[in-house]
Amino acid sequence: MKKADLYLGSGGTSTWERCCLGLPSLVISTGDNQVRQNKYLFKKGVIQYLGSAESVSREKITKALNKFFYKHDNRTMSKKALKITNGSGLELVSREFSN
């Protein structure tokens, strides 16, 4: 992950690792337990949330990739990801979800 420019995949617990690394992410929920977290992080600008695995289309993924590579300020997403996990991991995540 440390050498990656972009993540495309599910939004499980590794989401927080990606945030700590500032890795921009295009995320698809693969389980109901991921939806709330993914919607929250999308609202905060930390990830680009594409929806659930059952509903996301190839076209939507292609559009998101094109936007990411050609129209999006990737540094902004990276900075927001780093900010939400500023090294205080558990405490910060707990506080964010409590609000």
Please check whether residue 2 lies inside any domain of the structure. Answer: no
**pLDDT by residue (tens digit) across 45-84?**
999 999 999 999 999 999 999 988 887 777 888 899 988 8
Q: What is the pLDDT of residue 96?
A: 66
Residue 57 within any structural domain of the chain: yes
What range does the domain containing 91 cover?
A: 7-98
Angle at 13 between CA 4 and CA 62, to 5 degrees: 50
DSSP class of residue 31? Answer: S
**Residue 89 in this model has a pLDDT that exceeds 80:** no
Q: Is residue 13 part of a domain?
A: yes
Burial class (CB in 10 A: 0-12, 13-18, 19+), 61: middle
For residue 45, is it within any domain?
yes
Per-residue pLDDT reduced to its tens digit, 2-39: 888 899 999 988 898 899 889 999 999 999 999 999 99
Confidence tier at 87 by pLDDT (50, 70, 90): low
* Count of domains for the chain: 1
For residue 51, the cross-strand partners are 28
Predicted local confidence at residue 88, as pLDDT:
62
CATH of the domain at 55: 3.40.50.2000
Does residue 80 lie within any of the structural domains? yes
Can you tell me the distance from the alpha carbon of 88 to that of 19, in angstroms, rounded to the nearest whole number?
A: 12
